[in-house]
Structure formats: structure tokens, C-alpha cells
Amino acid sequence: MNGLKWLWTLIYGDSSIGRKARIAITGLLMCGFLVSHLAGNLLLFKGDDGESYNNYAKFLHSGEMEAVVAGAEVGLLVLFGVHLLLALVTTRENTAARPTGYAMKQSKQGDSMLAAPAYNVMLLTGVVVFAFLVLHLVDFRFRARGSSHEPAHVVEKVDAAHANKHQPITRTDAIRLLRDPLTSGVYLVGCLVLGYHLVHGFYSAFQTLGFNHPRYTPKLRLLSIVFAIVIGVGFAIFPVWAHFVTIPGDAPAAPPGATATTP
């Protein structure tokens, strides 16, 4: 066990500030991932019947990228793991710092604080995001969940894809999955909660890492909100949009307003 002590120290650190810095760094790195993920998702919108998106997916699954993606996956797993673990640890430490609570507690901050409530629910939103992430991985990474609401031939197709997990998911697969009302709802909520987590998280990470300047910090706080909206709403668009777009295999009796997708 002793041999791994250095690893534990590396993860856990030896101070409250060190732990917070680790949470901040892992958080910011994951923000970077979110940006690239969102950028990739935007290919869904390209009016080419999913060609770009599918090619992008295919590229990520190609032989030369396999190692990179695997590495990234492990990296992301570690980031998420450390982020969550330290969040739990610090929350426990923070709770222990006040064993007896107040009979009455009110904030002295006025309404000017845009992010006011977000910081009070960081652990909650974080755990919700975690649960959502597990579902998302089950659906998209491991493709371990089918949808019984789909037409039979589609289910077949999904099952076929399911049979080969290494096959990249296609735009059609993704949309079909997100059309399930329950899934759609969960994804919508998950994405918005993620955004809410970022309202405080993004700004807070900079403060934790020592960045605060009277000239830039107010702008950073605004940026944090903008970033949170872009990420949260950006991802949340897809489960909504999935209901309004036509994909191959859709019933011919498409709503009159729908754009024709078959030639």
C-alpha cells in the first residue's frame, strides 16, 4: 500500500487549497472537453443527412485514432473521478467545520449576485451530472440500451448495431435514441443541470487558481454565465431538436410542415 502513497498524495493533496485547486483544474479540463464535444455535436445540424457527423464518428473510431480516443477516455475518467472524489471529500470536511448549525441563516449578498444559488447546490448538480453521464455513456459509449418504442425494423437495426459496440453511432441512431420521450426529458434536464453547475464552477475555478482582478473578474463572471448557457443550452438543444427532424425510416406520413428528407 505504501508504494501507492505518492499516488494518493497526488490525488488528495495535503491542504484544503490544494484540493480545491485539483477540483478547479479537473473542472476546467472537463470544460475543454465539453467544448470539443459540443463542437462535434454541432455537425448534426449540417444539412447533409448526417454525412459529416457520421464521418466524424467514424474517424474517431478509426484505427489511427483508437489509441488517442482510448487515452482520452481514460483521462476523462480520471478527471471526472478526481473531481467528484475531491468534491465529496471537501464537502464532508466543510460540513464537519460547522457541527452545530444556525437556527436562522440569511445571506448578506444583495440581488446583484447572478450566480447566487448555484454555489449552494454544486454537489447536488454534480451528482445529477454524474448520473446523467452514466446514462449517456450507457447509451452512446456502450450502446447498452435499446428503445422499445421504436418501430420493429428500427429496433432490429439498433440491435444489430448493439451487436457490434465498436461500430460508431450514426446521426440516425442518435436522433432515434433521443426521440424517446423519457430519454429526451432526462437528457434535457441533464444538460441544463450541467449548465447550472458551470454558472458557478467556471468562474470559481479561476478564483481558486488565484485569478482575480478588479478589471477582469466581473467580466469573467459574466463570461461564466454565458459559457454555462452555451454549454447547457447547446447540449440541451439536441434532445429537443430530435423530435423535429426527419430521419430515414420515419413514417411516410410525416407532419405536413416537416421538411422532406427523402428525395
Q: Where do contacts with another protein occur on this chain (CB under 8 A)?
A: 15-21, 90, 93-110, 113, 119-120, 122, 200, 203-204, 207-214, 217
Nearer to another protein, 99 or 263 (CB): 99
DSSP 28: H
Distances 30 to 8, 37, 177, 259, 261 between C-alpha atoms, Å: 21, 10, 25, 36, 36
Query: With contact defined as beta carbons under 8 Å apart, do 115 and 199 qualify?
Result: yes
Give Cα 124 distance to the centre of its chain: 15
Of the candidates 173, 171, 178, 150, which has an alpha carbon nearest to the alpha carbon of residue 236?
178
Alpha helices in 97-180 (DSSP H): 122-136, 152-163, 171-179
Nearer to another protein, 201 or 239 (CB): 201
Give the Cα separation of 74 and 72 in Å (integer). 5
Distances 26 to 61, 63, 125, 206 between C-alpha atoms, Å: 25, 28, 16, 12
Nearer to another protein, 115 or 242 (CB): 115
Q: At its nearest, how many Å lie between another protein and the CB of residue 18? A: 7
Nearer to another protein, 6 or 102 (CB): 102
Q: What is the dihedral of CA 176, 181, 183, 187, to 10 degrees?
A: 100
Q: At its nearest, how many Å lie between another protein and the CB of residue 107? A: 6
Q: At its nearest, how many Å lie between another protein and the CB of residue 205? A: 9
Nearer to another protein, 30 or 118 (CB): 118
Nearer to another protein, 105 or 153 (CB): 105
Q: At its nearest, how many Å lie between another protein and the CB of residue 16? A: 4
Residue length, the chain?
263
